[in-house]
Amino acid sequence: MSATKSEDSVTIGGEYWSAQLKVFDALESDEFDLVVFRTGYGGGKSLLGSDWIIGVATSVEKSDNLVIAPDAQKGAPTTYKVFFERLPGEDTVPDEGGDPENSPIVEKYHARDKRVTLVNGSIIRLGSADVWNRYAGGEFNAIWCDEVAHYEHTDLYDLHEMLVTRQRTAAGPNVTLWTSTGNGFNQFYDVTEREIEPYEGEERPLPWADAMEVIVGSSLGNPFLHEKEKMKRSFEDTERAKQALHGGFAAPKGLVYGDFTRNVHVVPEDDVDDLVAGTWRMYGYDHGWKDPRVIPEIGKTSHSQFIVKDLFYRSGVKYQVAVDWLVENDKPRGTVYAEHEPEHQEAFRKAGYPCEPAIKDLDEGIPRVREFLETDEQGRPGLLVSDHCVELIQEFQSYKEEHVGKSGAKDHALDALRYAIMGDTYLDEDGARSYYDPAENSTITPHQPEDL
């Protein structure tokens, strides 16, 4: 690949290792809308993405191309820096005192708009996932999304739908490239490993899986990585080895509910009815408009375990829709522990469901939920979740300490669950922990995991 500025010929790109070459083959095959390169640290993700986007821009005149980093702040020292470094020429990194216009292929760099214009009229825009919808009006020949697993405030399904509709240029290649390490069991995991999507409160196979190619490479296979021994010492015998080295997935650092696992706490929907004992129920209620309204339906097993049987989770609906979900699905009567909106609470009561204001204290509520994730001597946890409750499971596996109490955190189902569990808990006159069972209308033995 080459381009010229005046009479000078320059070379784009360099040497690549086997996994990177497979990615280039997939990008050039005209068979896929989305190509994913998953690898560990030092696998050459950003280098590959930069070279590909520059290569398309130089070979397709007057093309419009887009680079998306997790956000502008994170992109500057990582994605953007590597991109500027891969431009041919010297001193091309703005944050290091250079100028992209020093490159023989760059005509102009607009720093405020983060827009690079090449001498052949092509444009490369440096964007970020936190404001991805600003690109909905454009058409792009090539799109590169870097560290997609770290798009913490972006719905990847919505993002892909928007991007794929923006790639209908005559000159092509009309492909999107995702590069990333894993980052826990989040949407990136569901898309690129499980190949599923949420649909009407359940999961279904990803409809566009055949238009996606996922290439996985271990960083230890990269001959250009000089720190292999150091990385082996750091990760090889740890739980994070799959993610850090091999392009796989592990639980991220700093999870609020790090003890939650699919193997221990998630049960198949088909088994739930057999596990639920009787008609005792309680519900949580978290409300929003842009954020979803959420109601988990919680029953008990014969071992006094809580089990989340069903989940209402919808955005952009009035609170009455959530109330009607209980009634129309003939959900058993049980107390709803709700957000402090008197009008909403009264609507639940009119529908026949007792409703109490939620205890919203995070400092007490989070440790209380953690207690129910513990297991007893028989290996039984205090809380089970139906695999039907997709959004709750995703939140358990991605909610970090740094998200606690922050606006924009994806914790709505967890909040509603916490309200219910805390609503079932109160302190008696002696200061001891007790629990109220609405079905029995009495205080009962604590649901400590060791007593299950």
* Token pair recorded at residue 118: 């090449």
pLDDT digits (tens, 9 = 90+) for 137-146: 789 999 999 9
Provide the 8-state DSSP code for 76.
I
pLDDT digits (tens, 9 = 90+) for 274-332: 999 999 999 999 986 567 899 999 999 999 999 999 999 998 889 999 999 999 999 99
* Mean of pLDDT values over 208-218: 97
* Mean of pLDDT values over 212-229: 94
Q: What pLDDT is recorded for position 73?
A: 77
User: Residues 373, 379, 383, CA angle at the centre, nearest 5°?
Assistant: 30
Strand 34-39 and strand 175-180: the pairing is parallel
Threshold 0.75, pTM exceeds: no
Is the pLDDT reported for residue 11 higher than 50?
Answer: yes
Is the pLDDT reported for residue 71 higher than 80?
Answer: yes
Give Cα 416 distance to the centre of its chain: 19
Q: What pLDDT is recorded for position 5?
A: 46
Q: What pLDDT is recorded for position 293?
A: 93
Cβ–Cβ < 8 Å for 65, 123? yes
Q: What pLDDT is recorded for position 9?
A: 65
Strand 115-118 and strand 106-110: the pairing is antiparallel
Q: What pLDDT is recorded for position 398?
A: 85
Amino acid at position 364, single letter: E
Q: How far apart are CA 149 and CA 269, in angstroms?
A: 27
Confidence class of residue 183 from pLDDT cuts 50, 70 and 90?
A: confident
Residue 380, beta-bridge partner list = none
Q: What pLDDT is recorded for position 234?
A: 85
pLDDT digits (tens, 9 = 90+) for 155-166: 999 999 999 999
Instruction: Please report, rounded to a whole number, the percentage of residues in the chain having pLDDT higher than 90.
Output: 67
Q: What pLDDT is recorded for position 120?
A: 96
Largest CA distance in the chain: 88
* Domains identified in the chain and CATH numbers: 2-246 (3.40.50.300), 262-451 (3.30.420.280)
Helices (H), 185-335: 187-189, 228-235, 241-246, 262-265, 269-275, 319-328
pLDDT digits (tens, 9 = 90+) for 353-399: 999 999 888 988 999 999 999 999 899 999 999 999 989 998 998 88
Please provide the average confidence, as pLDDT, over all residues in the chain.
88
* Mean of pLDDT values over 72-77: 74
Lowest mean pLDDT among 51-60, 224-233, 275-284: 224-233
Is the pLDDT reported for residue 447 higher than 70?
Answer: no
Q: What share of the chain is helix, strand, coil (3-state, %, to 5)?
A: 35, 25, 40
pLDDT digits (tens, 9 = 90+) for 33-46: 999 999 999 999 99
| Residue of 345, 355, 286 whose CA lies nearest to 315 | 286
* Mean of pLDDT values over 247-265: 86
Is the pLDDT reported for residue 75 higher than 80?
Answer: no
- Higher per-residue confidence, 435 vs 7: 435
Q: How far apart are CA 138 and CA 140, in angstroms?
A: 6
Is the pLDDT reported for residue 3 higher than 60?
Answer: no
Q: What pLDDT is recorded for position 7?
A: 32
Q: What pLDDT is recorded for position 294?
A: 96
